[in-house]
Structure 1
């Protein structure tokens, strides 16, 4: 039997395709602060948004305590 229900079998989408589909279908943006495609100001904006919405990252807290 070669028929698979949706979401089973077939090929897997790569992570960038999942992110792209999430943006187009749901309006959800998943961005890494270390994404090499972004310029420094863009990465800084992503970092600031993440800290505003979710608080500082663990690495940021530890380096601030030292």
Structure 2
């Protein structure tokens, strides 16, 4: 049983690490998109470069 518990904890930890990395990448993309918007770059081009949807780019701009 301890092995199964340890394996489960390891899987949970790996999933958490994956989630944190994904969120960090998304935040970085939003920061890049905001800078590109500040330079007047077209939203469609920003989406093509970052992989973000137009709605995400607009929503990220505060």
Normalized against structure 2, the TM-score is what?
0.29
Q: Which has the higher contact order (CA 8 A, sep 6+)?
A: 2
Q: Which has a greater percent of helix?
A: 2
